[in-house]
Amino acid sequence: SLIALANAIIITRRLIRTAWTTHRWDTRPTRRP
C-alpha cells in the first residue's frame, strides 16, 4: 500500500539524516600517512 511505502521512505530518510549528522566524514580525510 502507499501508506506503508510512505512510512518506509520517511523512516529511511530519518535514519539517513541521523547517520549523516552523527557520522560525518571525520575519519577519512583527517588521517594521512
Domain ranges of the chain: 1-26
Better pLDDT: 21 or 11: 11
Q: What is the dihedral of CA 13, 15, 21, 23, to 10 degrees?
A: -130
* Average pLDDT rounded to a whole number, residues 12-29: 76
* Average pLDDT rounded to a whole number, residues 1-22: 90
Global pTM value = 0.51
